Structure 1
Amino acid sequence: MTTQNLVPPPNATTSDRLTTVLSYGVLLLLIYLVFRIYEPFLSSLGWAAILVIFFYPMHERLARKFAPRRSAVISTLAVTILLIVPAILITTLFVREAVSVSRGVQHSIAGEQAPTIAKKWAWIAQHVPGLDPNADVAETVEQAVQKEAGFLAERLGTILRNIAEFIFDLFVMIFAMFYFFRDGDRIIRGVRSILPFDAEHRDTMMNQARDLISASVTTSLIIAAIQGILGGLGFAIVKLPTPLFWGVAMAFFSLVPVVGS
């Protein structure tokens, strides 16, 4: 049923107009139902699309040497091994390390590390205008650690409760990446064909969208790396346990929406 068939003619009767309204209503209802069916998968599909767009130049080189299915399998495995497996390992180590480290950080700051922190803060305050050299930095840091420890415990509980949902979304994303890699050219042609512009403007819009997504991902990775380096250096300066691990954890979790550091 096309849009032209749904539009009633000028001399249409009340019955024809009612039929047209009902047809539009049924169409909107079907669109809404389809959206509700795919709504739980939108996040996984969105991340899969972003990763595929970012790594598609790599896939195009593989597609010249292998069949579409094989190149899609190789590209999907490469992205999974490069990003997802390290993310799972970092998350596992983060949970394990957080349980042990959070118990000793408060005691370390309040005890033997307090004089060191106060001395370093006094030195920094002498060289940076506007800072109070007499501020009780150790107490402030301890309060911040207590607050973050409570948030961390709450967040870890949420993660553990939603672990099954996470695994399911992960598999959906991996399968979606495979089909996006395999049918990428067909999907691009389909999207280009429904855009209401001439061929030149369609190509320009598609290229700009691809470049924007690639630039956004690259920028996010650079910012995450800088944040992790600065965080790790900060932890090392105050001599907190395992500064390298926490720097890597900060870099990784800064990429996570909502709960990013």
Structure 2
Amino acid sequence: MTEKVKITSGHWVLVAALLASAFACFLLIEPYVNSIVMAFILSLLMFPIHEWIESKLPQHKNLVSFLSCVVLTFIIVIPLLFVFAAIVQQGTVFSQNVYYWVTHGGIQEVFAHPWVVKGLSVVNTYLPFEEIQPQEIAQRVAQFATAFGSNIVGFSAKILGDATNFLMSFFLMLFVLFFLLRDHDKIISAMRHILPLSRSQEDKLLNEVEKVAKSAVMGSFLTAIAQGLAGGFGMWLAGFPGLFWGTMMGFASFIPVVGTALIWIPATIYLFITGDTTWAIFLLVWSVAIVGSIDNLLRPLLMQGSAGMNTLMIFFSLLGGLHLFGLIGLIYGPIIFAVTMVLFNIYEEEFSDFLSKQDNS
């Protein structure tokens, strides 16, 4: 028979002091929470590789963790550097081509297209807007294109600053990852000891967090990579800078509802207007059939680790996470939902007799 613990006023003081100090610690690490969370999630993904390296060097925990971090660096950073350099090069060429096209009468050719003329006529006749003048739009676009050259210098500086911040966050994440991999067993044991739950409840909670964290990363980021590759290939075949627009499609895939259509719809319209009807039809079919099907098939397949969550819950966890936390919210949202569901299950098990009695009353 288990002995009941008598709660005294001293215990409440201790709990209050513990909560206050924990909150103070959170304020100290708050600027680095994203790096710590990403280190935790990457430690789950890297652990099979880490275990394989550890089996070869069982007596060298520090070296094994260091080698695991080196492997991760080569997997992530080195390809990113090459991709980033290519994106900057293609983006610069594309901006120069746009500037040349606008300043050499390209926008006037667009407004002279029969479809555009007819469309503007319908808009000006039936819709309750002020009359749209093609000359005013062309003038504004030309002004924007003229200013674009100077703006791109500031944009490049911003990209450089963001890249510097990314590297700093990445190395901080590696530092945390090193200790998470090295002391994995100690950390899990400490968490189990502190949580006031039974072993089966702890297993359920930790297993669900691990599954959802993995599936959120796989579902969101691998889907973005796949859509970026497929979309970039289609854009390249249609005559656009493939790597640049493929990367833009990868980022656009994180936007709920709209997704990659934010990129390929304007590109398709541009091809139709400029007379490349065959390539416009190709890009339209390719984007809907191939790029769109990746999101519809691959994301649910990769996120099936969230077994307790249906499609609607996954959608709102992603949407809400993105709104509250930004891009990292694509991971935070599903984890928060999953932990809440596990706690509800534990609550249901603990109070099953009471809940059954209430149902029958």
TM-score bracket for the superposition, by shorter chain length? 0.5 to 0.7
Of 63, 66, 73, which residue of structure 1 is paired with 2:54?
63
Shift of 1:249: 5.5
Q: Tell whether 2:242 aligns with 1:251.
A: no
Distance 2:119 2:152 in 1: 27
**AA partner of residue 171 (structure 2):** F
Change (3 A) 1:186 1:234: same
Of 17, 27, 49, which residue of structure 2 is paired with 1:36?
27
What residue ranges of structure 2 are gaps of 5+ in the alignment? 121-136, 256-321, 329-361
Q: Which residue of 2 aligns with 1:81?
A: 74
Q: After superposing the two structures, state which structure 1 stretch, 178-187 or 245-254, moved more.
A: 245-254
**SS of aligned partner of 1:64:** helix
Q: Which residue of 2 aligns with 1:91?
A: 84
Instruction: Give CA deviations for 1:237-258 in whole Å, capped at 9, x if unaligned.
Output: 5422x21443146437867984
Of 6, 9, 19, which residue of structure 2 is paired with 1:7?
9
Using the aligned pairs only, state the percent identity: 24
Shift of 1:224: 0.9
Of 21, 46, 50, which residue of structure 1 is paired with 2:37?
46
Kept in 2, the 8 Å contact 1:253–1:259? The answer is: no
Distance 2:225 2:18 in 1: 47
Shift of 1:228: 0.8
**AA partner of residue 86 (structure 1):** P
Distance 2:81 2:157 in 1: 17
Instruction: Give CA deviations for 1:20-41 in whole Å, capped at 9, x if unaligned.
Output: 76x7765554333322221221
Change (3 A) 1:36 1:133: same
**AA partner of residue 160 (structure 1):** L
Shift of 1:77: 0.8
Q: Which residue of 1 aligns with 2:94?
A: 101
Change (3 A) 1:51 1:24: closer
Q: Which residue of 2 aligns with 1:12?
A: none
Matches of residues 20-31 of structure 1 in structure 2 within 5 Å? Answer: 27-31=18-22
Change (3 A) 1:162 1:93: same
**AA partner of residue 51 (structure 2):** E
Instruction: Give CA deviations for 1:131-189 in whole Å, capped at 9, x if unaligned.
Output: x99659xx9xxx7xx79x79977654433345543332222111111111111121122
Instruction: Give CA deviations for 1:23-68 in whole Å, capped at 9, x if unaligned.
Output: 7765554333322221221111111111111121221222222132
Change (3 A) 1:45 1:55: same
Higher RCO (C-alpha under 8 Å, 6+ residues apart): 1
Q: After superposing the two structures, state which structure 1 stretch, 244-253 or 226-235, moved more.
A: 244-253
Q: Which residue of 2 aligns with 1:16?
A: none
Matches of residues 112-131 of structure 1 in structure 2 within 5 Å? Answer: none
Shift of 1:110: 8.5
Change (3 A) 1:196 1:180: same
TM-score where L is the length of structure 2: 0.51
Distance 1:237 1:200 in 2: 54
Equivalent pairs counted in the alignment come to 228
RMSD of the alignment, in Å?
A: 4.2
TM-score where L is the length of structure 1: 0.67
Matches of residues 224-243 of structure 1 in structure 2 within 5 Å? Answer: 224-236=224-236, 238-240=238-240, 242-243=241-242
